[in-house]
Amino acid sequence: MSETKKKNSKKYEIGDKIVVKVKNIGENFRDEQLIYVIEDGSKDYRSLHEREVLGKLEDFQPKQVKIKMTVDEKKEFDELKETYATPYGMLHNLIHKKDFDLYRKVFMNANTKENSKEQLRFIKAFEHPELIEVDYEFKIGNSVIVDTGNLKTIGVVVGTGVCKCFKVLFKSGLVSSVFYKKMKLVKENAIDWEDQNGERQKEEA
């Protein structure tokens, strides 16, 4: 096999959904045969040559864009979803919750076009909650796990910085500026240190 062909070759596994180029359909070629080939590799009703397989289904689907929410927006979204079974019910009742951050996000944009975009994102979040990405808004006193790739430790937010960075106090006494995406919330209102022996010493902030 040439180097070019090796690079273009994809690794397929049982259970993969694939896109197949169908050249012709005859009377003896039943739809279920193709389904079996795609969805159940153990039933080989028709062998496919590599050149007939255009790729995995995921290669032909548009990349799903994450729907960003703050911590408070996500809490409000979950509260509405627990109460109302449809996106219409959620939006209809959100109109009356003007103190919600989510209300301002969905209904209080610069123009009608932007409101429509946010309302469509809201409906998509209802249908695909796995696309929701919570953009944490850390507050002073929050205990957080800091993971920079080279370092993973616990600290407490003691101040805000610039460019979405926060000042974090570590157990050693060091205060460092940390980008928010490198932090994960542990507790909202408590300092929660963990020593080298795994024993926790808790203090109320």
> For the segment 169-190, what is each residue's pLDDT rounded down to a tens digit?
888 888 888 887 788 777 665 5
Q: What is the mean pLDDT of residues 95-114?
A: 92
pLDDT at 37 over 70: no
Q: Which of 196, 190, 188 is nearest to 153 (CA)?
A: 196
- Beta partners for 156? 143, 169
- Band of the pLDDT at 143, cuts 50, 70, 90? confident
Q: Which long-range contacts (CB under 8 A, 24 or more apart) does 8-11 make?
A: 9/50, 10/53, 10/55, 10/56
CA–CA separation, 166 and 183 (whole Å): 9
Q: Which of 158, 155, 150, 141 is nearest to 183 (CA)?
A: 155
Residue bearing the bigger pLDDT, 195 or 138 = 138
Q: Which segment of 109-118, 151-160, 193-202 scores lowest on mean pLDDT?
A: 193-202
pLDDT of residue 116: 95
Classify residue 141 as left (phi > 0), alpha (psi -120 to 50) or beta.
left
pLDDT of residue 43: 47
Tracing tokens 């429509």 back to the chain, one arrives at 116
